[in-house]
Structure 1
Amino acid sequence: MKYRMHGANPDKLYSKLGIEMPERVIDFSTNTNVLEFNLEMDFDFNKIVSTYPDDECLELKSTLASIESCREGEIIVCSGTNEFIYMLASIHAGGRAVLLQPLYSEYEKALKGYGVEILDIFSAEDIFALEDVDLLFICNPNNPTGSFMDVGEIRDIAAYCKGKNIKVVFDEAYSFFLEDECHTTDLIKEFDNIYIMKSLTKIFNLSGIRIGYVLTDEKNAAELEVIHPTWSVNSIAQKLAVQYLDCEKYIMNTRDYYKNERKRFIGKIRKHGFEVLDTKVNFFLIKVDNDDEIIEKLMKKGIVTRHTKNFKTLEGGYIRVAVKSKEDNDYFMEILSQISLTNI
């Protein structure tokens, strides 16, 4: 595959494709929050980088427990949720896992690395026929489609899988961008076979420091903490997460912004004759006939989108586009409108 596995790092994509990188590049391949957050760090930077991090993340766990209305023992803090994916794969080495496709490609990479047999399914209905598997991975909201299962569907899946002794991972990395809050935390009190993954890097635009957490039954958390690398979550990530989480208004403003701008942006694209799949979050899929051509034409104009060649069922038939600032979205629309539909 000539493209990179994930979005982000546009300079590397330009280099890989041999395209000269314009002076101004807007990265629509990353789905982080565009709203500014003017935070003054209330800690001594020199002191914090010269001492070891809290290996138990106690202050952050206390903050999260209050927000999520759960116990600290039901929380695993990770250096980004990718760390958790690899930890979980490691304790199921040699087992069997099911992926509800399409979804984030890092699961497959982690599972293969630990010799886990992978089975793909393509409909939520297929879940209710599963037998003899250890793990089920579900992106909800889905990455890359932006679709979303409601709490009732999630509860039904958790209940069926509990009866079949299947652990279920619900990846909620983008739940903060939903128009309405996603109330799934209470499910960990009902079901001891689920993990709910949450990312703080997307909502707070903290991708450079890697921070996320997982909600699960205390026994599951204790099992994973045994293999959790000591000091994996750095001090700056912990401190910033505590400060950012204290600003509920910012999260509310984020929901409002994306609710309105998503509708406006997608509406303009559809008016130009493009098919855009419905979405509940801060990114969406545009159907294309020639993804290579449109991706490269956009890149030459300083617009980077996310290919879908490594998403099963999509396989290059779409490009994924993030909702950015109004100014950047209008520029995207201006350039896209210059590209003839017959050429994509």
Structure 2
Amino acid sequence: MIYGHGDDGYKYEIEFEANFSSNVWFERTSIRLINYLKEQLPSIANYPTPNADELAKKIALHHGLGNDAILITNGATEAFYTIASLFYAKKVAIGIPTFSEYNDACVKNKMDITFFQRTDVLLTSFEEDLVFICNPNNPDGFSNTVLEIEQVLKKFPNTIFIIDEAYIDFTFQITSCISLLRDFDNLIIVKSLTKLFSIPGLRLGYILCNPEVKHKLQQSKMPWSVNTMAIEAGKYIFDNYAEMCPDMAMLLAYSESLQRQINMLDSFSVIPSKTNYFLVKLKNPDATQLKDYLAHTHKLLIRDASNFKGLNANYIRIASQDPKKNELLVNALKEWSIHY
């Protein structure tokens, strides 16, 4: 369902004033990173290293793990497909509503899929071989603590849990489950660099797991899947991580303010989130109509969330921008409330 994701501005011949549909860092790519990558352009004359080993070493050092616990991927999506390929025709459970590529990867690998409510993970009895959990969850920001994830890992030792931490840096509510890797072989963590550092066009993510699982994944993964420029971007990011990290406190304050303002409007009810993105429930099931209205009338792009499994046309997803752009959205939603 790759065409059903957010940031689908390519469908419109519109120069948007603001994009609320994609939950990546809103200030766009670092100029320092862009300038560095310009200097690396001549290196595209050579093949990249097959498994991006030089980047894996930097990531291992950053997380305090061994090199044999890291596998670099072409975005988090390649990680999901690579993992699913190891469980061909096995049983899998997916917490919904959530990112659709878990399901698509499992369908491609002919897995027997069951769904559970993402908010009920602690109440669910897992008999499957594999479980996908987005933490914090996309699209609603729901999250589980490290202690809660540890509880599930202990309770179901024969099930492999995939914890997708693509948005872990966009919240202060929880911390990463990396510390659990030392004690649990039934844990695989997937990370993404594209959201936090606003490089989705480069496609860069990685898997954290025990060495035995890493070896199996590497055998099924396509070589050279991560291109030279993505590898160089990752190396630069981890060499300058502290300076590169965005001001998340500022963004979360913007998000909290925007949630509060939208929730005050008659036609909208915000599902509270401690991340930069959140769901909004509409009084009427017209998410698609609202999206088109905002695009064509106000040049604003939002995420129609009706195609998330478990949701419907009553839901949209918003990713907060800066206060000026957020004000544009609030005013546009006010107009919608009055006229529609």
Q: Tell me the C-alpha RMSD between the 2 structures.
A: 1.9
Unmatched segments (≥5 aa) in structure 1: 15-20
Contact 1:262 1:282 in 2 (8 A): yes
Q: How many residues align?
A: 330
% identity of equivalent residues: 27
User: TM-score of the superposition, structure 2-length normalised?
Assistant: 0.92
1:125 aligns with 2:117: no
Q: Specify the alignment match of 2:166 in structure 1.
A: 173
1:257 aligns with 2:256: no
1:71 aligns with 2:63: no
Distance 1:309 1:201, change over 3 A: same
SS at match of 1:339: helix
Contact 1:146 1:280 in 2 (8 A): yes
Aligned equivalents of 1:181, 1:51: Cα separation in 2: 41
Aligned equivalents of 1:340, 1:44: Cα separation in 2: 50
Unmatched segments (≥5 aa) in structure 2: none
The correspondence for 1:89, drawn from 77, 84, 95, is 84
Contact 1:147 1:278 in 2 (8 A): no
Q: Specify the alignment match of 1:284 in structure 2.
A: 278
Q: Specify the alignment match of 1:202 in structure 2.
A: 195
Aligned equivalents of 2:134, 2:325: Cα separation in 1: 27
Contact 1:161 1:168 in 2 (8 A): no
Aligned partner of 1:23: which letter? E
Contact 2:51 2:71 in 1 (8 A): no
Q: Specify the alignment match of 1:150 in structure 2.
A: 145
The correspondence for 2:14, drawn from 9, 22, 29, is 22
1:297 aligns with 2:293: yes
Question: Deviations 1:19-39 (Å, cap 9, x if unpaired)?
Answer: xx3333532111110235221
SS at match of 1:34: coil
SS at match of 1:97: strand
Q: Specify the alignment match of 1:18 in structure 2.
A: none
1:315 aligns with 2:281: no
Q: Which has the larger helix fraction?
A: 2
Aligned partner of 1:7: which letter? G
Distance 1:321 1:53, change over 3 A: same
Higher alpha-carbon deviation: 287-296 or 114-123 = 287-296
Aligned equivalents of 2:114, 2:8: Cα separation in 1: 30
Distance 1:23 1:310, change over 3 A: closer
